[in-house]
Structure 1
Amino acid sequence: MSGSITVPGYPTNNRVPGFYFALDNSRANTASYGRRVLIIAQTTTGAALAGTARLSAGVTDAQGLYGVGSQAATMVAQYFALDPMGEVWVLPLADDAASVAAKGSFTITGPATASGTLCLYVGDLLVPTLVTAGDTAATIAENIVTAAASVTGLYATLAVDATTAGQVNVTALNKGLCGNDIPLGINLLGTAGGQSTPSGVAVAIAAMSGGTQNPTTLATALATLGDRVYDLLIHPYTDAASLTSFKTLFNNTDGRWAPMNQLYGHGITAFRGTYGDATTFGLTQNDPHTTVMPTSDSPSPPMVWAAQVGAQVAASIRTNPAIPITGVALTVMPPTDAGRFTLDQRNSLLHDGMSTFTVDDSGTVNIERLVTTYQENAEGVPDDSYLDIETLMTAMICLQDMRIYLASQFGGCILVADGTKIPAVAKATTAQLIGKACSARYNWQCSQFWAQNAATFAANIQAQNQGGGVVALLMPYDFANQLWVIAGNCQFVKS
């Protein structure tokens, strides 16, 4: 006999006549890991929920759990606006006990000599206030506070100053450094957008500042994530302590990218500042598992940018992780003309670990290129192996797919020496057969355009039986590239 067929669950000593069939799914597994993202941000309510990740049931759910206008609720809303089909989890954090809320102000002078609408902005949210001819500065200030109360999702509270007439104090809802990045503005759409200050009225703006200390509980909260797989971890933090916590979480040695964990994931955040600020910041970073988008002077806070970039990345991954994420629109408000990075500046940013965007003639912000902050290897030598986020996303999905495939094919197998003749029905294998299976799956991954050069992979894969039931694989992956540039020489003649 070439081998005996084993029917799972059927006793070989059965003598009762009949027809007995077992269902065996070992060759039928086509599943993949669920594609999900995790938003990490602060809450203004529900402190008891802080530090525990939970599945989001949508925008209303987030507002009820974490507080309207909180970082967590804002980022959930911004994410779902661009990726309504995504599976979103939230890891809420409480404001740190030692933190201070950022504060700013609008100071009004008057009286108004004509009626109109005063268009103030907290971040990218408009606070429209009716101004009537004859209104004093104090009256206008009180009306601004009243108008702000009707704006859903405002990132800050507004209150009339107790001592300075006409001054409206603005205080970030969440304490910490992120509040410093909430811009305050007036008439952002300009006269072309129907916005101008009523005659007789002037507004002086004091930018948000003074916010201190992002949550020190972040590292502890990240340590409780367990073994649930998240493709993306989206957050608003760019301080050194927070980014170090994420770098530790993801690292390839004992973090989520380590072979003993295989949980993977990638961090996405945003940084507000000038070109010089962004370059200086980028040069201090070096993490293959984090992407930072500089926002320049956009009225939209960095947490809004981070959530929207994350949503577009997540949607792209579900289509194909190797597709270049470029020319993809966001709904954030664009920077000023002066704040828009030039081609030379964007090229420099891409060499300094920072991603880039463009703004078209309609004022729409489009993702141009998303890179990681990784710039140098352990020897301090420039290294572009982890340059693009697409490389990391493709690697994650390829490795997850290969793991599922091999587990389905070889789980519970006897391992014997290479060259052993194994009947087709025997639950046994060799390292050589495992290597061939890897090549077959790699060939399929190439058909999905995740990888390339299947013949080279098959010729160079190594599978070694190292004894003790261990098979070591050296898989020479060649991930698909993204088309970024077409450069041509227009050589013309005159005749």
Structure 2
Amino acid sequence: MSDLAITGVPDGVRVPFLYFGVDNSKASYFQASERVLLIGQRLPDGTAPAGAPVQIFGNEDALFGAGSMLADMARIVRLKSGFAEMWALPLDDAAAGVAGTWTVTVDVDASALTVAGSVGIHIGGFRCAAAVLPGDEPQDIAQALADAINADSHAKVLAAADDGVITLTANHKGLTAGQIDVRVTYNGVGAPVAGVTLTVAQTQMGTENPALSAALATLADEPYKWVALPYTDALSLTTMRRFFDDQNGRWAAMRMIYGHAFSARTTDSPALLVQFGGTVNDQHLSVLGIYGTPSAPWEVAAALAAYGLVHLSDAPELSRPEQTLELPGIFAPEVPDRFDRTVRQTLYYRGIGGYTVTQEGAVRLDRLLTTYQVNGLGIADTSFLDVTTLAQLMYFIEYVNNGIATAFPRVSLKDDGNPVFPGQFAVTPGRIRTYVIGLADHLANANVIENVDRFADLLVVARDSTDPNCVNMILPPDFVNQWRIGKILVQFYNQYPATT
């Protein structure tokens, strides 16, 4: 055995003593950095400045304004994980944007309005109601209902009443901010008292989502693994694709920050979702189609990001399929608007995720895909079909990177066949190879990869032919799959045949 080298203890020391060095390299364990990043709009009364990331500690109303897009998103994430490390990237409304507006027209049949009752409007799934008495005129009811809406600090709209008509204006300008669900009844609940009729109409669609590029640049190289993206317009999706890009973005080999974005489409019928799916092709984006939900698209995006944090962040959970997992806080579409198996099957060939609804009305994931569908030649490609594959890939890379960097932080490099003694801080390609196979064993035990023997056969670890300081590796993980489909034949008999 060669002499032992301890950092800080010089060779040749002659003073009698016991000199203890401390080496923590064998005590550390892998722990991925897991954050949820909520991208969305703030209100002017929020204290958080626009265009820079801010951490959320349960103070979302103060940071972004009560009734803001970001405050909604933070509350949804907390329903899934109260311990989430939650960050936001606040945006101001686009200067050229237009806010969505709705009218609620109140009509009264005095002869039928003979008993007291209530009227209400479901806004984003939540009902705001006001009392009605016999003799009330349309303007009385409209004003009372407008006052009730404005009294709710978390309402997504502002209300104004005039001559029996309530005008609702979205809190934010923008295309997505104007996609708020406004209806009188939800699942048969909320019908006005006899003699009163409410008629809802959207009179102005929202326009112009905020630009993302400048705000995304402020994130620098800080890790934000699960990103809730409320916008699905073409410009926003192009910007996010560049943000995560494999060549120059967060997935590039020279950056290695990674991450995944989640969005939702809540106002598209199946035909429109199929059409939309034909316009996107990004393995770092997942979109859930949930037509007819009263929940806003930013709330669904936040629920999906929370799913990523809780179920895609750590092994062995990240290798399990997502079907049956609930999205807390998301309202189910009414029965006629829910997607059956045929619709979901079609959407899954267009990169759009689907859901199911339980008897009690809970929204549960069915299958969550990435939008990646074809390779660079336009040929159908299933390599990045499911979001679980991206989660496994991120975990695998970060685990191996952490293991190698911890085991060999500052070492010299020798050819195989040369002796390596303790204290030399040297390594050979063969020793690296053995260590990597050991990491693969750990990952197999954690249910991330399988078939380690084959991994070892295909693993390549070799010194570069031109740079003697470089080791080249090819790592061939076989990721664990998910049991999503069972094909079962029931081959029945009226009577088993006699046997001899």
**Cα 1:354/1:185, change in 2 over 3 Å:** same
Q: Given residue 10 of structure 2, which amino acid in structure 1 is its aligned partner?
A: P
The equivalent of 2:264 in structure 1 is 270
Percent of residue pairs identical: 31
Task: Measure the CA separation in 2 of the matches of 1:155 and 1:48.
Answer: 19
**Structure 2 residue 329 is matched with structure 1 residue 328:** no
Give, in angstroms, the shift of residue 152 of structure 1. 3.4
Residue 258 of structure 1 corresponds to 252
Residue 48 of structure 1 deviates from its aligned partner by 6.1
2:167 aligned partner = 169
Distance in 1, Cα, partners of 2:205 & 2:102: 9
Q: Partner of 1:231 in structure 2?
A: 225
Contact 1:184–1:208, Cα closer than 8 Å, also in 2? no
Q: Which residue of 1 aligns with 2:306?
A: 311
Residue 410 of structure 1, aligned match among 408, 411, 414: 408
1:152 aligns with 153
Letter in 2 for 1:461: L
User: SS of the counterpart of 2:37?
Assistant: strand
Question: Is 1:40 the equivalent of 2:35?
Answer: no
Q: Is the 8 Å Cα contact of residues 51 and 91 (structure 1) preserved in structure 2? A: yes
Q: For 2:185 and 2:326, how far apart are their aligned partners in 1?
A: 24
Q: Which residue of 1 aligns with 2:493?
A: 493
Matching residue of 1:396: 394
2:23 equivalent to 1:24 = yes
Question: Following TM superposition, by how much is the alpha carbon of 1:259 offset from its aligned partner in structure 2, in angstroms?
Answer: 1.1
After superposition, the C-alpha distances for 1:163-204 in whole angstroms (9 at most, x for unaligned) are xx21111111111011231011012142xx4x3211111111
Q: Is the 8 A contact 1:69 1:152 kept in 2?
A: yes
Q: CA deviation at 1:111?
A: 4.8
442-451 vs 115-124, which deviates more?
115-124
Aligned to 2:8: 9
Distance 1:453 1:223 in 2: 40
Q: Deviations over 1:181-233 (max 9, x none)?
A: 1011012142xx4x3211111111112642111112x1111112112112111
Question: Residues 267-309 of structure 1: CA distance to partner in whole angstroms, max 9, x if unpaired?
Answer: 0011121111111111111000000011201111111111112
Give the structure 1 partner of residue 498 of structure 2. none
Q: Which residue of 2 aligns with 1:440?
A: 438
Does the Cα contact within 8 Å between 1:352 and 1:375 map onto a contact in 2?
Answer: yes
CA distance in 1, matches of 2:35, 2:468: 36
**Secondary structure, aligned partner of 1:127:** strand
Determine the C-alpha separation between the residues in 1 that align with 2:488 and 2:130: 54
The offset of 1:6, in angstroms, is 0.2
Contact in 2 for aligned 1:181/1:208 (Cα 8 Å): no
- State the match for 1:85 in structure 2: 83
Q: Secondary structure at the match of 2:106?
A: strand
- Matched residue, 2:144: 143
Matched, 1:54 2:54: yes
Task: State the 1:149 CA deviation.
Answer: 2.2
How far apart are the structure 2 equivalents of 1:142 and 1:339?
A: 32
**Aligned partners of 1:256 and 1:264 also within 8 Å:** yes
Cα distance in 1 for residues equivalent to 2:468 and 2:254 = 18
Letter in 1 for 2:246: N
Residue 413 of structure 1 contacts residue 429 of structure 1 at CA under 8 Å; is this kept in 2? yes
Question: Deviation per CA, 1:231-277, whole angstroms, max 9, x where unpaired?
Answer: 11112100000011110011111111111111000000111211111
Stretches of structure 1 lacking an aligned partner (at least 5 in a row): none
Q: Does the 8 Å contact 1:96/1:176 carry over to 2? A: yes
Measured on the aligned residues, the alpha-carbon RMSD in Å equals: 1.4
SS of the equivalent of 1:177 reads coil
* Kept in 2: contact 1:47–1:94 (CA 8 A): no
**CA shift for structure 1 position 31:** 3.2
Query: For the Cα contact (< 8 Å) 2:313–2:391, is it kept in 1?
Result: no
Q: Say yes or no: does 1:207 pair with 2:206.
A: no
Task: Could you list the structure 1 runs, at least 4 aligned residues long, displaced by more than 4 angstroms after superposition.
Answer: none
- 1:94-105 paired onto structure 2 within 5 Å: 94-105=92-103
1:171 maps to a residue whose letter is: T
Distance 1:478 1:337 in 2: 41
Give, as a single letter, the amino acid of the residue that structure 1 aligns with 2:158. Answer: T
C-alpha distance after superposition, 1:98-120 (max 9, x if no partner)? 11111111111115513211121
Residue 210 of structure 2 aligns to a residue whose secondary structure is: coil
Q: 1:373 aligns with which of 371, 374, 379?
A: 371
Q: Which amino acid aligns with 2:132?
A: V
Q: Match of 2:173, SS? A: coil
Contact 1:327–1:366 (CA<8 Å) still a contact in 2? yes
Distance 1:175 1:480 in 2: 44
- Structure 1 length-normalised TM: 0.95
Which deviates more, 41-50 or 428-437? 41-50
Aligned 8 A contact 1:29 1:405 in 2: no
Q: Is the 8 A contact 2:185 2:191 kept in 1?
A: yes
**Number of residues of Structure 1 aligned to a counterpart in Structure 2:** 485
Residue identity in the other structure for 2:489? N
Rounded to whole Å, the distance in 1 between the matches of 2:420 and 2:19 is 26
Call closer, same or farther: CA 1:407–1:325 in 2, change over 3 Å. Answer: same
Is contact 1:32–1:400 with CA below 8 Å preserved after alignment?
A: no
Does the Cα contact within 8 Å between 2:187 and 2:334 map onto a contact in 1?
no
Q: Please state whether the residue corresponding to 2:176 is helix, strand or coil.
A: helix
Counterparts of 2:48 and 2:360, CA distance in 1? 44
Cα drift, residue 47 of structure 1: 7.2
**C-alpha distance in 1 between matches for 2:179 and 2:96:** 19
* Matched-pair contact (CA < 8 Å) for 1:157–1:170: yes
Tell me whether 415-424 or 480-489 shows the greater mean CA deviation: 415-424
Residue 48 of structure 2 contacts residue 54 of structure 2 at CA under 8 Å; is this kept in 1?
Answer: no
> Structure 2 vs 1, CA of residues 259 and 303 (structure 1 numbering), >3 Å: closer, same or farther?
same
Q: Aligned equivalents of 2:298 and 2:290: distance in 1?
A: 10
Pairing partner for 1:355 from 353, 356, 363: 353
Once the 2 structures are TM-superposed, how far is the Cα of residue 424 of structure 1 from its aligned partner?
3.3
Partners in 2 of 1:469 and 1:254 — Cα distance? 25
Question: Compared with structure 1, are the counterparts of its residues 119 and 459 closer, same or farther at alpha carbon in structure 2 (3 Å cutoff)?
Answer: same
